[in-house]
Structure 1
Amino acid sequence: MRNRFGTRARARQPVVRRPTELDDLPDYALLNIIRIPQERRSSPWLLIARRVVYAIVLILTVTVIVYFDSGGYTEPLSFLDALYYSVVSLSTTGYGDIAPVTDRARLLNVIVVTPLRIAFLILLVGTTLAVLTEESRRTLQIQRWRKRLRNHTVVIGYGTKGRSAVTALLADGVPPGQIVVVDTNRQALERASGHNLVTVQGNATKSDVLKLAGVSRARAVVVAPNQDDTAVLITLSVREIAPSAMIVASVRESENLHLVEQSGADSVVISSETAGRMLGLATVTPPVVEMMEDLLSPGEGFSIAERMVKEDEVGANPRHLADIVLGVVRSGKLYRIDAQEAESVEPGDRLLYVRRVLSADIAEAESSRGEST
């Protein structure tokens, strides 16, 4: 089809707009997505009701004072007159039909009624500001949190595996404020928030949700969804956004192990096989299972810990050290205690050893977490 100038008219192309990502939204639009733990606060309506009671007490206080000094005003006052004067005086209406005329009444107004009038106004204005600025306060809190978020741990999925991972992190001394939980289940996020964890509601397979959780600045990411295919997709997205973050993923079936590793996971845990091995051991040697559970529980008994090698330990055989050493980590690679590379300890090595968790250590960890929150 040609136009009147003889050139072929081009068909109008529809304008394709890029959908707005959550990470691009203003902070006030994220109030229902990001939840930051905070001190328990009374509801706005309870706050208003409490301050109304305070205001009534102030009015009655002035009423009693004026009533007992009713002779110092333009005319003798009844209790209703005193109440009327208190209301119009504290509200700064001031019709002037009732006014103090004696020195004593005016002195009481200066010393008592005027300060109560100021307190009354502050009470009303403060209530209004407290209710109206709640959302602004939360918006500012989210803004500051997003700017300061660094080297944290993101836990994707707060089911059985995610909760266990968070419990282990907390027991190992990680502050709750350094853990961000991502899930689509509102009830699961409520439970996480009850443990003073920052929560983000959204589908972790979407990059904008991951960016909102600060994955690009995270130290580690725990991928613990319910489905293996979801774990693969999330791992791919996380690795694309955070090339240097440590990714620990969980899968149900061993046949999906290589898929998650190829997606970029640094470590993969096969939940079904691990549970199956524990069940098999429990039928033959139950004490072994109890000991394994003790080692995997950092908050009680014995636990497996990691530490830097000491200067006086360099060159020594790790089997002869005071701690029970299980392996040596060198240049990011683990060597078991019976490996040839672990015959002697080198500078910069890290030791995996069995650490005794005393009750004092547990109390100290709990107190430090309480101070951080």
Structure 2
Amino acid sequence: MNSTPHTIPATDGYPLGAMLWTAAGTPQGVVAMHPATGVPQRIYQAFAKFLAERGFHTITYDYRGIGASRPKSLRRFAARMRDWALLDAEGVMRWARARYPELPHLAVGHSVGGHAIGLCSADWDVAGVVQVACHTGNARFIRQRGERWRVDLILRGVGPLMARLIGYVPGKRMGLGEDLPGGVAIEWGAWAGMQRYFFDDPTLGAIERFNRVTHPVLVYGFDDDPWATPAAINALTMHFTNTWVERRQITPAQAGGAVGHMGFFRAQFATTLWPAPDRRLVYLISVGQRRLQRWIQSRTGEGVTAAQSGLLFFLEKNDGALMREAGAALDLGPSAMSGLVDRTSDAGLIERRADAKDGRAWQLWITPAGREALAETRNGLAELNARLTEGFTDAEIDVVARWLASLQTKFPNGDEQ
């Protein structure tokens, strides 16, 4: 395991200072570490080393205007807070994907780093996300009155004022961490004044962007964090409407010490907060399903999805089955089944014919093109089954199969309840 400096281009070409921590042993995946506002990447060094030692190539970097990505002068340096997400974070994720195309990719976002993951358009290509102390920047969620007033004064008053007067915010001299580009402070202050933070900015389209996220999201919050309170975290995560979100709220006693907003990445929490839980079953099922579907689709006929393959396999033994029968076999509701049939029919793989006995019902038939696609899919089944069972005994596979089958009775669909 070693670390090497890199210059990663943002999507607009701006050079970002980064470090690549190479995985020890056989690589298990790639992690992109998206930092908090004004926090230099060196803060995440211990965490990156921890991940690399466990088989994950890990990338840390600085947003434009911060740390190793800072120009000689910040005065009038052109950068907005949205640029950190739409240009910098996306550029890093694209670079990581291009460098390691065969490995699963994950992302960790700290504070505004979680915003970046939700806003950029490259996030769809990750298997999962961990958000640490990520929240909307509305001071109204801060419980302590004095801290609420202080933060509101900085975000909406002092910060934007200094940015306009001298072209940047001298955060180091003000005891606020790193200096910030003026445009970042001005946009941050504008969002802080909106009821729903940047979700109310019509020029950003944040609601639509967050709705595109389909990977599972694991969210960490801490009881002693004065800024990322549960209400502030909810105000952000509620907009992940198209995926599974798992929340974890940690007390100092559970963590083994005070965590606050910045503490998660301290080495003292390597044995309490950093180890990944092995039995987050819903998360693991979701990630596994996504990975399996991608693998299947890459090896089926051109343009044939995993869902279409399932329909073709059913019709191979039940050609001419009613659409509702196919939907029941595939555990799909009427709307989802109708969409699948439309797409598969448009692709020329099946035909719909009115049922002679019931004019309101449709029968489904495989076309010659569908049978060719089915043959191509079948060729990959042996390899798929071998990979699924590799490393497990027959007895272990029997237990897994029994557990998966039990889900159908434990969680019946709407028609069975």
Q: TM-score range by the shorter chain?
A: under 0.3
TM-score (norm 1): 0.25
TM-score, L = length of structure 2: 0.23
Structure with a larger share of its residues in helix: 1
Rg: which structure is higher?
A: 1
